[in-house]
């Protein structure tokens, strides 16, 4: 039952302390954005009074650094996203790319359904770029776009033969793993099987809605939230825990749904939701994490995605990966990479995104690490794009260390 959540998302908790402005990576990168306090709680009050052109709304990347630093618990970025959603009901969109980037699942489905679809899509993107098609669409010419996999994760998963175990999780793969990097999903199954966990998937899951919310399509996200909530709740009712290997999906399902919507069962299933590495760290706390690792003498640099930080679950990857013998891993700890899901792919945001990420790029380059490590797919893409150093999911590091 969707009821009014207006009073839950009101601007009253903000004390105008301005900490969010000092922490906002976008505000630091461009004067076009006047910061989270202004765009969020301050203007939320005025938007109830007057309407106006509001070009600033588009500049919030929904990285949620403001929410993380806010001492008053104001869902600042969510106020921004709600305002953006309302705004585009009455104002034309600046970029044609918004729709495509917000509904990436549609694109993924289309491409993987066609024989050789991914080959043509990937080719099309590079050809399209050279002819300026992407620019006309509102996609940044020099942004490195995610490429599509020839076989989806779901299709690959069905071919995997698992050993049944009493400990069971349902894996919400999300669009990026399903269509772009299915190997992260298969790594999860291998690592979890090694830890005596049986992994299920649900083909009825739909896109978590994170790109829709960031793009100002909350009404579309609501439809998806309704479907996913019912499904996730039923898995939890059957004794399953839920894991994600994409921190944006995880944040959306666990926290943002509750900030934005009011569907039955959200809080119940959220209590059983884990990031894939967090779940393993929990096993470790219970003495059940398999540490039968081979040596890995690689030098890694780990970047914690903003959407992981705001979940307040610490740095589970920095707890587990250092257990691998021989490993050299350090945390970058220099803030946002700049990409924020689809933000950095947009023509008018690409430069900002690269500027935001510049500290991280330099940090990676100067670390002389061989590989970057990060839970978030688009962060990994941005790390590679900005530093030239390939980045992988921590599950992949674990899978290799297990010799699988």
Q: Looking only at residues 276 through 295 of this chain, which bind other proteins when binding is defined by CB under 8 A?
A: none
CB of 2 to other proteins, least distance (A): 12
The CA distance from 213 to 29, in Å, is 23
- The pair phi, psi for residue 217, each rounded to 5°, is -115, 55
Q: Looking only at residues 117 through 156 of this chain, which bind other proteins when binding is defined by CB under 8 A?
A: none
Q: Does 332 bind other proteins (CB under 8 A)?
A: no
CB of 6 to other proteins, least distance (A): 6
Q: Which residue reads 């929410």 in tokens?
A: 67
Q: Do 384 and 391 contact (CB within 8 A), yes or no?
A: yes
Q: Looking only at residues 1 through 60 of this chain, which bind other proteins when binding is defined by CB under 8 A?
A: 4, 6-7, 10-18, 34, 37-38, 41-50, 52-56
Q: Do 400 and 190 contact (CB within 8 A), yes or no?
A: no
Name which of 37 and 64 has its Cβ closer to other proteins: 37
CB of 15 to other proteins, least distance (A): 4
For residue 335, which of 309, 299, 300, 368 has the smallest C-alpha distance?
309
Name which of 91 and 284 has its Cβ closer to other proteins: 91
Name which of 4 and 90 has its Cβ closer to other proteins: 4
| SS3 category, 2 | coil
Give the 3-state secondary structure percentages of the chain, helix then strand then coil, rounded to 5. Answer: 55, 5, 40
CB of 116 to other proteins, least distance (A): 47
Name which of 47 and 393 has its Cβ closer to other proteins: 47
Instruction: Report H helices in 238-286.
Output: 247-251, 257-260, 266-270, 276-285
For residue 59, give both structure tokens: 């500049």
CB of 74 to other proteins, least distance (A): 10
Instruction: Give the number of residues written for the chain.
Output: 404
Q: Do 2 and 264 contact (CB within 8 A), yes or no?
A: no
CB of 42 to other proteins, least distance (A): 5
Name which of 13 and 238 has its Cβ closer to other proteins: 13
Please select the residue that binds other proteins; options are 28, 68, 72, 107, rule is CB under 8 A.
72
CB of 4 to other proteins, least distance (A): 4
- Spacing of C-alpha 153 from chain mean position: 17
Name which of 3 and 312 has its Cβ closer to other proteins: 3
For residue 146, which of 374, 371, 337, 381 has the smallest C-alpha distance?
381
Q: Do 372 and 380 contact (CB within 8 A), yes or no?
A: yes
Name which of 80 and 228 has its Cβ closer to other proteins: 80
Name which of 76 and 324 has its Cβ closer to other proteins: 76
CB of 40 to other proteins, least distance (A): 12
The CA distance from 252 to 248, in Å, is 6
| 275 DSSP β-pair partners | 244
Please state, as a whole number, how many other Cβ atoms lie within 10 Å of the Cβ of residue 341.
24
CB of 60 to other proteins, least distance (A): 13
Name which of 15 and 130 has its Cβ closer to other proteins: 15
Q: Looking only at residues 204 through 243 of this chain, which bind other proteins when binding is defined by CB under 8 A?
A: none
Distances (CA, A) of 37 to 44, 230, 376: 10, 34, 26
| SS3 category, 368 | coil
Q: How many chain residues interact with other proteins (CB under 8 A)?
A: 31
- Binding residues (CB under 8 A) for other proteins: these are 4, 6-7, 10-18, 34, 37-38, 41-50, 52-56, 72
């Amino acid at each position: 039952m969707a009821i009014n959540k207006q009073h839950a998302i009101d601007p009253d908790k903000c004390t105008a302390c301005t900490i969010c402005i000092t922490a906002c990576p976008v505000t630091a990168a461009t004067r076009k954005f006047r910061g989270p306090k202004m765009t969020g709680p301050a203007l939320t009050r005025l938007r109830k009074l007057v309407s106006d052109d509001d070009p600033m709304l588009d500049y919030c990347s929904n990285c949620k650094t403001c929410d993380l630093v806010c001492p008053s618990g104001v869902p600042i970025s969510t106020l921004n996203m709600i305002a953006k959603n309302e705004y585009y009901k009455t104002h034309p969109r600046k970029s044609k790319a918004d729709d495509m980037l917000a509904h990436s699942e549609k694109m993924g489905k289309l491409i993987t359904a066609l024989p050789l679809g991914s080959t043509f899509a990937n080719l099309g993107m590079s050809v399209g770029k050279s002819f300026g098609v992407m620019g006309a669409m509102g996609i940044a010419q020099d942004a490195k776009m995610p490429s599509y996999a020839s076989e989806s994760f779901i299709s690959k998963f069905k071919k995997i033969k698992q050993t049944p175990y009493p400990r069971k999780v349902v894996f919400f793969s999300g669009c990026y793993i399903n269509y772009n990097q299915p190997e992260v999903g298969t790594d999860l199954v291998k690592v979890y099987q090694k830890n005596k966990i049986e992994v299920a998937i649900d083909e009825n899951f739909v896109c978590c809605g994170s790109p829709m919310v960031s793009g100002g399509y909350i009404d579309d996200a609501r439809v998806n939230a309704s479907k996913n909530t019912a499904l996730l709740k039923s898995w939890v009712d059957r004794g399953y825990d839920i894991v994600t290997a994409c921190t944006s999906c995880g944040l959306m399902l666990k926290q943002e749904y509750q900030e934005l919507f009011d569907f039955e069962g959200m809080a119940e299933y959220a209590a059983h939701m884990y990031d894939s590495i967090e779940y393993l760290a929990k096993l470790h706390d219970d003495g059940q994490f398999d540490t039968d690792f081979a040596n890995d003498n690689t030098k890694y640099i780990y970047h914690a995605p903003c959407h992981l930080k705001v979940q307040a679950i610490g740095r589970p990857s920095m707890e587990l990966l250092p257990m691998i013998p021989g490993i050299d891993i350090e945390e970058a700890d220099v803030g946002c990479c700049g990409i924020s899901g689809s933000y950095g792919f947009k023509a008018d945001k690409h430069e900002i995104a690269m500027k935001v990420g510049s500290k991280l790029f330099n940090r990676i380059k100067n670390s002389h690490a061989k590989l970057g490590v990060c839970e978030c797919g688009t962060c990994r893409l941005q790390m590679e794009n900005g530093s030239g150093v390939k980045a992988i999911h921590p599950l992949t590091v674990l899978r290799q260390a297990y010799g699988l």
